[in-house]
Structure 1
């Protein structure tokens, strides 16, 4: 009997894929508090786009840069470990996100050292405690929106992925991976912003909400297609690591669980 819990290559693969998914989701939650302008970031003049009556630079949450990798890992895990694998890591990731915010709120409540405030004032931050609180102390509406959208998005992604898989078998992994992401993120992109910024205390007007949500979703659509080569590179690496016969057996079992 093998008593080594990491003795199985399949177990190690699941740990690596899950860890990459979870850390990207957690990082996206914390950096997502920053809204950035795309054109100035790229050194370009503002496009002065006009959408739903809103205009100016294309604005995104910083977290949107990482979420496509979360959904990519979701589809890879789905491909080789099935619904149960995705559901397990989805709930675990939610728990880690909540744990992370609890840790952040506890850190905010700690009384700052005077020299820490003073040193950062010399660096151009007038009130480091306030800055720390604003960055890490995201409102409950934002946290609730993010967690709710993530869970709903994951459940929809799993469902669409398997429906496409029934029709295509093991062929066209790009179609089920990209198709499931396009559907799940259409819903995810709007839910998180609606809960966080429309229902929440900021009370965004609907045109602003629609404009920002649409732009963020458009980015996710572009990334879904841009990451197609990475899907096949990851698939090739997994088959090389697991062996063709074992990898195909994992895919077959994943389609039934």
Structure 2
């Protein structure tokens, strides 16, 4: 039975896409606590535009490295497995993100070993447990924010993808993939940061200093601009993966799967 499932190409492809989808979603949650400077990472001076009364530069959450990939995976799964296929994986990802949140909370409240607390002083970490609590605690609120943003973003991505495809048919892959991603990322970019860095620090002492609303909005704008640019840049990648899938499945099988996907969505 297992051998038959593994040999079935559409099933094997669904497992591959789903595993990559879920893994990227969870990793994005874990690394999202870090705020990095895109300009400094690229070796250029910060832009320092004025947005919402704050000097704006591309200070982004590290999670933006992976979320565009998650939504592209969503579009590819939607293309061949329909809304039900995306919904099933979204529920799995959301459940595992919630599980990660619970494990973070459990780990935070474990009593640390005495020697471990001062084990990293030579690395400029005077209290390892305090650092652990602060970073994972803040990450927990990112997870809370991302769960809501993720599920809402997935709904918007799938619905907009479906509607664009109904109009364009099999043409303009770039329009339905990139367009649906840009719509969903607009909501995701604002909601997750607002919950993680504006609401979270105001209700929990492990969250660090709360951000001002202007700071949250300016960083939200930076995150979305980045995601917008990345979505455009990754358009050729979408075509490359799409062509690979067509060859892997065979054009006849791929065509049937896409027709069934649209039929399931319409029903």
Question: TM-score by structure 2 length?
Answer: 0.90
Q: Given the alignment of the two structures, is residue 59 of structure 1 paired with residue 66 of structure 2, yes or no?
A: no
* Counterpart position of 1:81: 81
SS in 2 for 1:36: strand
For residues 41-91 of structure 1, give each alpha carbon's deviation from its aligned partner in whole angstroms, at most 9, with x where no partner exists.
222222222112110542101101110000010000000000001101011
TM-aligned CA distance change 1:120 to 1:141, over 3 Å? closer
Asked whether the equivalents of residues 30 and 139 of structure 2 are also in contact (C-alpha less than 8 Å), the reply is no
Once the 2 structures are TM-superposed, how far is the Cα of residue 148 of structure 1 from its aligned partner? Answer: 0.3
CA distance in structure 1 between the aligned counterparts of 2:124 and 2:215, rounded to whole angstroms: 32
Where do residues 87-236 of structure 1 align in structure 2 (5 Å cutoff)? 87-138=87-138, 141-200=141-200, 201=202, 204-236=211-243
Asked whether the equivalents of residues 47 and 56 of structure 1 are also in contact (C-alpha less than 8 Å), the reply is yes
Once the 2 structures are TM-superposed, how far is the Cα of residue 211 of structure 1 from its aligned partner? Answer: 1.1
Q: Given the alignment of the two structures, is residue 241 of structure 1 paired with residue 240 of structure 2, yes or no?
A: no
CA distance in structure 2 between the aligned counterparts of 1:64 and 1:49, rounded to whole angstroms: 21
* Counterpart position of 1:39: 39
Question: TM-score by structure 1 length?
Answer: 0.93
CA distance in structure 1 between the aligned counterparts of 2:46 and 2:180, rounded to whole angstroms: 32
**More helix, by proportion:** 2
CA distance in structure 1 between the aligned counterparts of 2:70 and 2:248, rounded to whole angstroms: 22
* Counterpart position of 1:256: 263
CA distance in structure 1 between the aligned counterparts of 2:81 and 2:146, rounded to whole angstroms: 25
The total of aligned residue pairs comes to 257
CA distance in structure 2 between the aligned counterparts of 1:179 and 1:48, rounded to whole angstroms: 29
SS in 2 for 1:199: helix
Structure 2 gaps of 5+ residues are 203-208
CA distance in structure 2 between the aligned counterparts of 1:75 and 1:192, rounded to whole angstroms: 21
Moved more, 171-180 or 119-128: 119-128
Structure 1 gaps of 5+ residues are none
* Counterpart position of 1:18: 18
CA distance in structure 2 between the aligned counterparts of 1:2 and 1:25, rounded to whole angstroms: 27
Moved over 4 A (4+): none
Asked whether the equivalents of residues 49 and 58 of structure 1 are also in contact (C-alpha less than 8 Å), the reply is no
